[in-house]
Structure 1
Amino acid sequence: MVHTLHMGLFDRFRFKSHEDAGVGADRGGFRLADESEGKASLTLDLGDLPSDAAVQAVGEEPNGAFWEGLASYMAPALVSRLDMDSEGSMFAVYGDRTDLEDLRDLLQPLVDQPAAMTGVLQRAQADGVILEGYGR
Structure 2
Amino acid sequence: PPLDGATAAFRRAAAAAHDARRRNVAKLRAAGVPILAGSDACNAGDFPGAGLHLELAKLVEAGLTPGEALRAATWENARFLAGESADFGEIAVGKRADLVLVAGDPTARIGELGRITHVVLDGAVLERRARP
TM score, norm. by length of structure 1: 0.30
TM score, norm. by length of structure 2: 0.31
- Is the radius of gyration larger for structure 1 or structure 2? 2
- Structure that is richer in strand per residue: 1
